[in-house]
Amino acid sequence: MSLRSKLESMSPREQKLLAALGMVVLAFIFLGTPAYVYSELWSAREHNADIRQLLGRMDKASELLAKRKRERQARALLYAKPAPALASFIESMAQSYGIQVPESTDRADIEGKGFTERVTVIKMRKVNLLPLVKMLEKIERSGHPVAITMLTIKARATVPDEYDVQLGVSAYDKQGAAAKADTEGSGKPQDKTEQKTKSKIKSTPRGATGGRDKAPGASKLRPNKAPTKGQEL
């Protein structure tokens, strides 16, 4: 039986249902396929946008890492050269702007984590504000591991633009690396010497220690004494 004869043998109601089913299938094909393609393209766009954001964050992270690396290198270069003696250093900075330092005091060193802080406090009298500011700026930009940690300014009532200043400057000396290297260097040769001594002791054969070890069954011979005159008679 052919398909046409089957369709003709169906009742009108069945033919309508079959036509409706065919329309639904065609609508699904013609409408569902573009919708599926559009959804796939949209998801691909979102995925590409996520990848672009990730690449952007990676670029920013690489720039941040490079910046931190440069800062670490600059800090290491700063602490590579030791800080000068603070009293003479501050005095030279002050004299370059015509400021006199009548009094300076070195305080006790402060031991930190990998660093030693040296503090020097100076007192200056009748100082004008502009030379003082230039001096402080020169200290900060000196290129040495120093920092201004204390500053007290008191205005004088008698003369305008004259101040009594108390200034504290700290210098930071890096330590610990050289001592660690010396400790590690002194420990290694000692270990090698002990290993060589142990190997020599193990390789020494038994009985080759100057006659101290006796062979099994060996007896010590004693020389015969000469007979005395009484014994011969």
Region of residue 176 (left: phi > 0; alpha: psi -120 to 50; beta: else): left
The CATH superfamily of 86-177 is Ribosomal protein S6/Translation elongation factor EF1B (3.30.70.60)
Amino acid at 98: G
What mean pLDDT comes out for the span 150-169? 89
Q: Over range 126-133, report the average pLDDT.
A: 91
Q: Who wins on pLDDT, 121 or 9?
A: 121
DSSP 132-151: HHHHHHHHHTSSSSEEEEEE
Q: Which residues contact 67 (CB under 8 A, 6 or more apart)?
A: none
* Per-residue model confidence as pLDDT tens digits over 38-73: 888 888 888 888 898 888 888 888 888 888 888 888
| Rounded Cα–Cα distance for residues 186 and 184 (Å) | 6
- The pLDDT of residue 42 is 86
pLDDT (tens digit, 9 = 90+) per residue, 41-50? 888 888 888 8
The residue-averaged pLDDT of 135-146 equals 88
Q: What is the mean pLDDT of residues 14-20?
A: 80
Calculate the alpha carbon distances from 111 to 119, 133, 181 in Å: 11, 30, 20
Q: Does the pLDDT of residue 200 top 60, yes or no?
A: no
Find where tokens 């004088």 sit: 156
Q: Say yes or no to pLDDT of 188 above 70.
A: no
Per-residue pLDDT, 176: 52
pTM of the complete model: 0.47
| Whether 81 contacts 176, CB under 8 Å | no
Domain boundaries, the chain: 12-80, 86-177
CA distance 19 to 152: 98
Please state, in angstroms and rounded to a whole number, the distance separating the CA atoms of residues 85 and 106: 10
Contact 127, 151 (CB under 8 A): no
CA distance linking residue 136 with residue 99, whole number of Å: 12
- Compute CA distances 19 → 16, 24, 68, 109, whole Å: 5, 9, 72, 99
User: Between these two residues, 176 and 87, which has the higher pLDDT value?
Assistant: 87
Helix 86-95 and helix 129-140, axial crossing angle in degrees, nearest 10? 130
